[in-house]
Structure 1
Amino acid sequence: MSRFVDRVTIHVAAGNGGHGCASVHREKFKPLGGPDGGNGGNGGSVRLVVDPQVHTLLDFHFRPHAKAGNGKPGAGDNRDGAMGEDLVLNVPDGTVVLDENGTILADLVGTGTTFEAAQGGRGGLGNASLASKARKAPGFALLGEEGQQRSLVLELKSVADVGLVGFPSAGKSSLVSVLSAAKPKIADYPFTTLVPNLGVVQTAGDVFTIADVPGLIPGASTGRGLGLEFLRHLERCAVLAHVVDCATLEPGRDPVSDIDALEAELAAYKPALDADHGLGDLAERPRVVILNKVDVPDAAELADLVEPELAERGWPVFRISAVAHEGLRELTFALAKMVREYREAQPAKTPRRAIIRPKAVDDTGFTIVRDPEIEGGFIVYGTRPERWIAQTQFDNDEAVGYLADRLNRLGVEDELVKMGAEPGAPVTIGAVTFDWEPSTPMGDDVPVTGRGTDIRLDRNDRVGAAERKQARRLRRGLPVEDGEQDQS
């Protein structure tokens, strides 16, 4: 038995970028032919694409985890790594993407609409791309970045022009079945319909879609019954149609009270798409009242009593019988006219323009704050510094020296000095904390040393712990230990 799923949480992970390669070209009579390490390939991204052949989010219910391919590492002889394969996830038309906090990220309407759910990581540069006048043969390469990982909520909001609302067993499914080719489940007990049913209605010159929303009851806007699960499917509807059961035998119910109860629920429900689409509250949508089951004698008498009162509200009222096919032609043309008028009243959709946000002139690209957990420590925030940290091989002194040069050119060193950083102050960038050494001449011409080393990192004028301990013992007049005497 097929299931209808209209809300799921998925966990997407983009592919990691491949590492760059540190290689030196070697051939006969050219023992040191220069760096020839290739770049790593970019990781694949995860994209959501609207597919007209997909009608439910059921696949994501059973397989909520999705990961794109990783980029391949670079190789010698200037061979770049292959890029990771993108992962395309097909979603139904009308899918809304939200983050974990409930913020709308994208509203996917229209075949082919695409949203990048997770961006692939950049591939690391090989030493051939890092060569410069200062470093003619780098002995290191940059690491690939990790791909983006996110948890997203997907909600399906049906794309229909007319939404049928009414109490359980009001005849909504029967009406959809006779107006369109849809074949929903029909039975004589409440809550027969557990999923929205969509049908396409054709008239002489118009085509519109109609949605049968599962039965609503008082309290639906607060989660009672099936209300909250399916009220969202009314958000895109241009016209709301009240389907009233005039032949109900339940005590205390009549068409007017049923409509008033449902109107209160529609007014209490706040659509999430108002801000982005200007659809307005459900209470402001055009209305039509459909008095159903008038083929029953008692129902016809009740319809005669309530029709004038409903007409006073300014809503069109139609008397039909879905079983006997009475009044359907007039209803169909009236709904088509209301949908057409609604479409004509809407402003013409303009294609979205590309938004360019130029970088501010005084934007340094990073910020430095004092570390609240480490006394005398600092934390550096910024996209570039954090990315550079993730790309650095900290077991390679030359790579660490290259990182120091990049941070110095960005202005991190000068800003730390202005903020009063002391030598040895713990500085945190991303997931790495290191002792800041202002004596390290960052930005100077790089002296020629062995591959993978940086002589600047060997310079250290700070007094070590052993020397401080020895000086303290001498001040107190204590004998110097043998191990400490040897070190002195």
Structure 2
Amino acid sequence: MTTFVDRVELHVAAGNGGHGCASVHREKFKPLGGPDGGNGGRGGDVILVVDQSVTTLLDYHHSPHRKATNGKPGEGDNRSGKDGSDLVLPVPDGTVVLDKQGNVLADLVGQGTKYVAAQGGRGGLGNAALASARRKAPGFALLGEPGHTGDVVLELKTVADVALVGYPSAGKSSLISVLSAAKPKIADYPFTTLVPNLGVVTAGSTVYTIADVPGLIPGASQGKGLGLEFLRHVERCTVLVHVLDCATLESQRDPASDLDVIEAELAQYGGLDDRPRLVVLNKVDIPDGQDLADMIRPDLEERGHQVFEVSAVSRTGLKELSFALAGIVGEARAAKPKEEATRIVIRPKAVDDAGFTVTAEGEAFFRVRGEKPERWVHQTDFSNDEAVGYLADRLNRLGVEEELLKAGARAGDGVAIGPEDNAVVFDWEPTLAAGAEMLGRRGEDHRFEAPRPAAQRRRDRDAERDDAQQEFDDFKPF
């Protein structure tokens, strides 16, 4: 069984935010100390990080479901909940992150490169954070926001300086085994390598990596055989080396036609025209192989190819090939621009972007979509009337009610906030302008009003006493 996995589907779930706490401070001689509910902790993120020591996606093939921890709820006495721990998943260098539709989300190249695959939910605010001059004693808190969940596809594209390409059984595995310390499977019968092999080669002062890409066949670029699974491993390579079999047992094949077929497949796959090529005539230790190499070499050189005659068995021509590859890799590295500082792409929103949309769906039914309205709905405790009123205030200030009126909504029409599979549906009742002002005063408590000045209190007491005396004087018994 192979232990190399280069494509997996990963199911990730970030942690949920902790709920906020609704609490009132209680202390001896201070029965009404004010709200002191703490905020909930943030849910943990799921983060993909490039780790050079990881070479396969095998772990995620066996355990595709990964979840970060949730944030802790807030507590009284202004104690905020603990944040959830981030879940860091190491991936090989060269991993591409895609969504289910095949769109590239991230291209992870270089040690330590990170990508947040799932973002943790925000913690809910406690009633201490919701208190204001107009809302001195909120009797509710916000719930934690659910963490992001979804599926991502991880696809590994081998990062190597040199890629050996060619037909199955052309001798690529044997070649990489003598050029480097790699130990691929080699046998004296025709078969194809099922997974890429990666080796490290030292030529003088240059150290480079070489990849043995599994054999290609005609039609590989259209998905025939396992071609597409293999072709992606040559995308990141600096040099392509055509390994041509000069001792093939198939009478209908020859090195020149093999080269033409592989070049056609690479051209149809696309994106490899700018890579320098070398041609290796392999298995020249066999007499017939040497004769065929002598015959075909002039034709290949006329096409402009740099040709090397090698044998993995007798080690013929390996030193010349190794130093030639080192020279090309060194030139490519020198010409490569220095790494630039991380660029921050700023995408400002349009001036007229309200942050939400209202669409009519059928008769007397409307749907509200937007980051803020959907988040606010998830953070609302619908068992608490005051929390529901607070949500109504926020939606009204955002302009949702005004947009509903413009869209033709009437009292009693159905309104859904969120997507079809996770929406809150209610019968809409428009509020008056004065009503909105009243809703904004939810949570007020006259017991928390600022104390009156002493002179004002004396005047109020005198006025109350005078009123009581006047009532007594006006009273006449029967």
Given the two structures, how large is their TM-score scaled by the length of structure 2? 0.89
**CA displacement, residues 52-79 of structure 1 (integer Å, 9 cap, x when unaligned):** 1111000001000000000111111111
Shift of residue 328, structure 1, vs aligned partner: 1.0
> Aligned letter for 2:307?
V
Which residue is equivalent to 1:416? 404
Shift of residue 2, structure 1, vs aligned partner: 5.4
Shift of residue 283, structure 1, vs aligned partner: 3.7
The residue correspondences of 1:391-406 to structure 2 (distance < 5 A) are 391-406=379-394
Which residue is equivalent to 2:347? 357
Q: Structure 1's 411 and 294: CA in aligned 2 closer, same or farther, altered over 3 A?
A: same
Query: CA separation in 2, counterparts of 1:355 and 1:427?
Result: 36
RMSD: 1.7
Which residue is equivalent to 1:129? 129
Which residue is equivalent to 2:452? none
> Aligned letter for 1:411?
G
Which residue is equivalent to 1:432? 424
Query: CA separation in 1, counterparts of 2:388 and 2:332?
Result: 64
- Which of 340, 343, 348 is 2:333 aligned to? 343
Contact in 2 for aligned 1:365/1:384 (Cα 8 Å): yes
**CA displacement, residues 10-43 of structure 1 (integer Å, 9 cap, x when unaligned):** 1000000011111111121111211111111010
Query: CA separation in 2, counterparts of 1:59 and 1:254?
Result: 42
Which residue is equivalent to 1:146? 146
Query: CA separation in 1, counterparts of 2:2 and 2:301?
Result: 41
Which residue is equivalent to 2:112? 112
Which residue is equivalent to 2:318? 328
Query: CA separation in 2, counterparts of 1:293 and 1:37?
Result: 78
Shift of residue 361, structure 1, vs aligned partner: 2.8
Query: CA separation in 2, counterparts of 1:122 and 1:93?
Result: 31
Unpaired runs of at least 5, structure 1: 271-280, 452-488
Query: CA separation in 2, counterparts of 1:231 and 1:212?
Result: 11
Contact in 2 for aligned 1:169/1:188 (Cα 8 Å): no
Tell me if 1:300 matches 2:290. Answer: yes
The residue correspondences of 1:28-427 to structure 2 (distance < 5 A) are 28-270=28-270, 281-372=271-362, 375-427=363-415
Which residue is equivalent to 1:468? none
Query: CA separation in 1, counterparts of 2:349 and 2:169?
Result: 59
Shift of residue 377, structure 1, vs aligned partner: 2.1
**CA displacement, residues 379-411 of structure 1 (integer Å, 9 cap, x when unaligned):** 112111111111111111111111111111111
**CA displacement, residues 224-262 of structure 1 (integer Å, 9 cap, x when unaligned):** 233222111101011111111111222111110111111
Contact in 1 for aligned 2:138/2:443 (Cα 8 Å): no
Deviates more, 1:433-442 or 1:80-89: 433-442
Which residue is equivalent to 1:462? none
SS of residue matched to 2:308: strand
Contact in 2 for aligned 1:185/1:192 (Cα 8 Å): no
Query: CA separation in 2, counterparts of 1:349 and 1:151?
Result: 31
Which residue is equivalent to 2:436? 442
Query: CA separation in 2, counterparts of 1:59 and 1:210?
Result: 24
Q: Structure 1's 292 and 448: CA in aligned 2 closer, same or farther, altered over 3 A?
A: closer
Query: CA separation in 1, counterparts of 2:194 and 2:145?
Result: 45
> Aligned letter for 1:131?
A
Shift of residue 449, structure 1, vs aligned partner: 7.0
Q: Structure 1's 151 and 72: CA in aligned 2 closer, same or farther, altered over 3 A?
A: same
Query: CA separation in 1, counterparts of 2:61 and 2:415?
Result: 44
Query: CA separation in 2, counterparts of 1:62 and 1:152?
Result: 15
Contact in 2 for aligned 1:409/1:443 (Cα 8 Å): no
Shift of residue 301, structure 1, vs aligned partner: 0.9
> Aligned letter for 1:169?
S
Query: CA separation in 1, counterparts of 2:437 and 2:396?
Result: 6
Aligned residues: 439
> Aligned letter for 2:288?
D
Query: CA separation in 2, counterparts of 1:69 and 1:449?
Result: 33
> Aligned letter for 1:437?
E
**CA displacement, residues 308-351 of structure 1 (integer Å, 9 cap, x when unaligned):** 11011111000111110111111111111122233334444423
Query: CA separation in 1, counterparts of 2:224 and 2:405?
Result: 61
Contact in 1 for aligned 2:15/2:121 (Cα 8 Å): yes
Query: CA separation in 2, counterparts of 1:7 and 1:149?
Result: 20
Shift of residue 445, structure 1, vs aligned partner: 5.9
Query: CA separation in 2, counterparts of 1:202 and 1:448?
Result: 74
Contact in 2 for aligned 1:119/1:148 (Cα 8 Å): yes
Q: Structure 1's 423 and 116: CA in aligned 2 closer, same or farther, altered over 3 A?
A: same
Query: CA separation in 1, counterparts of 2:149 and 2:108?
Result: 20
Deviates more, 1:56-65 or 1:212-221: 212-221
Shift of residue 450, structure 1, vs aligned partner: 8.9
Contact in 2 for aligned 1:134/1:445 (Cα 8 Å): no
**CA displacement, residues 143-190 of structure 1 (integer Å, 9 cap, x when unaligned):** 101100010111111101110011121111111111111121111222
> Aligned letter for 2:431?
S
Given the two structures, how large is their TM-score scaled by the length of structure 1? 0.87
> Aligned letter for 2:366?
F
Shift of residue 444, structure 1, vs aligned partner: 3.3
Shift of residue 106, structure 1, vs aligned partner: 0.8
> Aligned letter for 1:426?
G
Which residue is equivalent to 1:479? none
Contact in 2 for aligned 1:201/1:209 (Cα 8 Å): yes
> Aligned letter for 1:146?
P
Which residue is equivalent to 2:461? none
Unpaired runs of at least 5, structure 2: 446-478
SS of residue matched to 1:268: helix
Query: CA separation in 1, counterparts of 2:407 and 2:261?
Result: 64
